Each structure stands twice: as C-alpha cells, then as structure tokens.
Amino acid sequence: MNTFEMSVQSILAHKHFQQAEVLAGHEALHRPFKWIHILETLSIETLLKGQEFILTTGIHIRQEADFLCFIDKLVACEAAGLCVELGEHIQTIPTAVIERANELAFPLMTFSDVVPFVEITQDIHRQLIHQQYELLERLERYAQTIQQLALHITSYDQLLMHLQKYLNVYVVLELQGEQPVYLPNIKKEQYATLKQQQSDQLLSKDIILMKRYYGSLSIYHLDRPLTEFDALILDRTVVTLSNYILRDLYIDQRQENENRATLTRWMQGDMTQREATQFLQEHAPKTLDKRWCAFVQSIQVQHKKEQLTYQKMFLRNTLEKNGFFCLSFEVDQYLIFLVADMWRTTDMKKRLETVVEQLRQTKPPLADDVVRMTIGIGRIVEHFHQLPDSYVTALNTVKIRKETPDISYFFEDIPLQHMVLELRKNPLLIDYAAQFLKPLLDYDALNNRQLVKTLKVYLQHNGQKKETAQALFIVRQTLYHRLDKIESFLGKDYFVGDKRLAIELMLQLLEEPV
C-alpha cells in the first residue's frame, strides 16, 4: 500500500465498527484519513487540520439546525467522515442531515450501541503509526537503493525505469531543449489531459540545477489518485536524478579543464591543422563537418575560480539545450566556448540569440557576486580550421561591446566598429585624425562648446537638422550657429562623399575606449 492513510472504508473492518451503519456518502468511502478525532463542540475550525475521521456522541448537535451546521463545518475543514453514537444524547439522524451529507458526498455513519471511543482511537492510531513507520522504512530503503544505483549506471534512464517499476506508474521526464521521455512509451495523450485538468492522478516535481530550472519529472496513474507516499518517492528520485546530472556536468567540466592547454594553443595559432583534426577526432568526431563559432564571455567576480566554474556549467548547459556542442576553457576572466552547430539548421544565429536572451532573463548562479559580464560572438565559420579567426573576432567583439554595450553581440553585425578597432592599432592614423579635427577640438576646449558632439549627431542623422536639434536638445538657431562654425573649420565640402566618410572614421578613432 503506497499511502500514509487508511480509508474510511477500511475502518469498517475494525472490531468496534462491525455493527456500524453507513447512512450517507457511500460513494466517498474510499476517502483517506490520517487521524481519528473525538469532537463534542461546534467550534471546530481551530481543532482540525484536514483528513480526520470524527467520532461524536452528539451532545452538541441535538437540534437539526446544529447538526446541519456541524456537517457543513466538517466538510469545510476537509474532514474525512463522521460517526455518531446513538443513545443518550441523540437517538436518530434527521432525514435533512442525511440528505445534506449525501449532497456533499460526506461519509456519515452511526453506532447503535455505546462503544469505547478511547479504545477506538488508541487502536486505530496504533495502526496508523505502525503503517507510517513501515512506509518510512520503505522510503528510506528506496532512497538508498537509487543512490547506490546512481553510482553504477551509465544513463539516467535506468533511474526512471526503477521509479516506474517501483510505483507501477507512468513516468515522464521533460528536460529543456529535449524531447520528453515516456516510460512506458504509451498513454502519452492521457498525460497531456491530466496535466491540463490538474488531476490528483498526476504529480510533477521540478529539477533545479545551480538555482536554475532544468526540467521536470512527472508520474501519473490512470486508475487511482496518487498519494503522499508517491510524492515522497518522486521527490527522492528527483534529488538523486539531479545529483546524477550534476555529476555528469562536473565530469564533462573536468575533462574540458584537462583540454585547456590544447585549446589555448589552438586558438592562439600554435597548432597545426593536422593536430586540430586529430584532437577533434579523439574528443568530438561528430563535429568535424559542423559549422562553428567562438562564444566569449568576459566576467569579473570576487571569487574567480568557484564562480567561473559555475558560470561555465550554466552557460554550457544553456548552449547544449539549444542544439550546440561546446568545448570550453578560460583565459584570465574570459570564458571561451567553441561552439559547433549540431542541429545544422539555417537558424544558428537565431538560436545563439536565444541563448543570449536566456542568459539575460535567467539569473545565473551566484549572480550576486558578478560584477560585470560582456558577451561577444565571433564570425560563424564553415570549418573548424577557421575557429582561431572566429576566436579573435569574438574577443574583439567583447572589447567593442565594453565601449558600446547596446550594440549587437555578433561580429558580423558591427563591421564598422571592427574596422575602427583595427585602425586604432595604427598610431599614425590616430595622429592624423587628431590633427585633422584639431580646430574643432581646440575650439571646444577653449569655449566649453560641443562642436565635435554636434558633428557626430549631425552625421548620424544624415544631415537632418530637425532631428539633430531634437537629439541634442537645442533649438534650431543654435544648431545653425554650430554648423556654420564647423563649416568654417572643415570646409564647405565636409558633408560630401569621401570626405564625409573619412570624418566619420576619424570621429570613431578618437573616441576614448572604456
């Protein structure tokens, strides 16, 4: 019996209930009860917790109205049933009371003789406590069994099979980004129906890893409601399953740490194509024909080693749920993920956007210690030999986004910023830009004016004066005055052709990096 409760029906087999008569609520005799309680008062609201079976002599319900009120209160308190001792205080049950109990599907029975209430409560409580002790022992044995099983199995499917056979229920495992697993693989439609109805024949428990929702494990039965014992068995299974999954993640993480030196050499260009091919053949042969890109996250934390480990596992899990295989390593406070598109669909970029959005919307583990995070995604390449290029462009994207956080995460979306980043490496170009724009810079410094800013905004708005004035929060006349001054320094042709393009690049070059 997978329950902590006896049923109202089962109490009729007790020796003192042999002569008891059921007057109402026959269809609810299967209802479980957890305790048996003696009540001789109408003030019961604070005395009951639910699922008690009530014994009474009826001393407080001699009037029909009181009896009806008593039935209503018992139902409101979720009592399991009522047995009235007929005799000194009440001789018969009014017809209206029987009808009310039937309407409420509330089991109502009577003793025709005086019975020892104390002896009944002691005996039944002894049975309940003994049954609870036995079931708690079963629960402990089950927990020990699956914990031992988890040490030897090669797939969590074996944990699910053990749960399914132990409770004789249907089992459903739903992990984010994966197809649900049904054991046995039948009656799927009934699961959807029970879930929609919030039926008592279905129980579900969330799987939480690193403070984040990872999936859920559900059990259901088509012929009986699930019990508290079923719920406790499900809970123990989820704990063991979570530990098993987390252990697998740590094992994978440890393997990646062992590959750190190799991956670092590869990305820094110190590995031949033959060595790179051999590495993937040994560690990820299914990725040889996939598209790749580098996914880099810059992160600063107070306790770097522990936090980066959690963050790597968190991000790796998110990427895998969206169809990507990952090789990861860290350099200083950069997390580098070399990402292969295992689904080989045309929406690789879209799924990477989904990953970023999930990271933004879901609070990462230990996020309170995170000072700052910046993500950059490198060029998507068709062959793994091109990964070092993607790695470089991802790092550059991170650097650019530190300066301008609101721009795209993707290298391919910000070509101008990447060109400027490369041009800044040439001091001659920086000096030339400074000399060319020196009249504006000197004027702003001496007069506390904003000619450079005005020029930038004017170019950004493609020469639209109304929009420029609004963006600068100035009146049109002030803008005209500034534009005249700019023209006097740069010439009337500063907004034309190649000269305009050169000025825009120079303005970008002279922006101070963060």
Structure tokens at 365: 């583990």
Question: Among 339, 315, 310, 343, which residue's Cα sits nearest to residue 327?
Answer: 339
Tell me the helix, strand and coil percentages in the chain, rounded to 5: 55, 15, 30
Phi-psi region at 200: left, alpha or beta (left = phi > 0; alpha = psi -120 to 50): alpha
Q: What is the mean pLDDT of each run of 10 residues along the chain (514 residues)?
A: 67 82 90 87 87 89 90 92 88 92 93 83 82 83 91 87 93 82 88 87 88 85 88 93 83 71 91 93 92 89 58 81 88 88 86 88 51 82 95 92 86 85 81 85 83 87 89 89 89 84 82 54
The angle subtended at Cα 201 by Cα 77 and Cα 158, nearest 5°, is: 135
SS3 176: coil
Round to whole Å and give the CA distance between 180 and 182.
6
Contact 482, 471 (CB under 8 A): no
Question: Phi and psi at residue 223, in whole multiples of 5°?
Answer: -120, -5
The pLDDT value given to residue 192: 87
From residue 10, alpha-carbon distances to 18, 124, 225 in Å are 11, 11, 17
From residue 74, alpha-carbon distances to 94, 233, 248 in Å are 17, 31, 51
Round to whole Å and give the CA distance between 356 and 358.
5
SS3 187: coil
Round to whole Å and give the CA distance between 83 and 93.
11
Distance separating the N- and C-terminal Cα atoms of the chain: 67
Round to whole Å and give the CA distance between 228 and 143.
16
Torsion angle of C-alpha atoms 80, 85, 89, 90, degrees rounded to 10? 80
The pLDDT value given to residue 123: 83
Q: Pairing between strand 292-301 and 370-377?
A: antiparallel
CA atoms 42, 46, 50, 53: torsion sign: negative
**DSSP letter for each residue of 280-297:** HHHH-GGGTTS-EEEEEE
Structure tokens at 202: 């279905």
Contact 415, 396 (CB under 8 A): no
Contact 137, 147 (CB under 8 A): no
Residue with tokens 């003793």: 111
Structure tokens at 155: 């797939």
SS3 470: helix
Residue with tokens 């969590």: 156
- Cite the beta strand spans of 317-415 per DSSP E: 324-331, 334-341, 370-377
Q: SS3 sequence, 407-428?
A: CCCEHHHCHHHHHHHHHCCCHH
CB atoms within 10 A of CB 172: 21
Question: Phi and psi at residue 364, in whole multiples of 5°?
Answer: -65, 160
Residue with tokens 């993500």: 375
Contact 393, 379 (CB under 8 A): yes
Q: 31 Cβ partners below 8 Å, 6+ apart?
A: 7, 8, 80, 81, 107
The pLDDT value given to residue 234: 95
The pLDDT value given to residue 305: 58
Residue with tokens 């002790």: 133
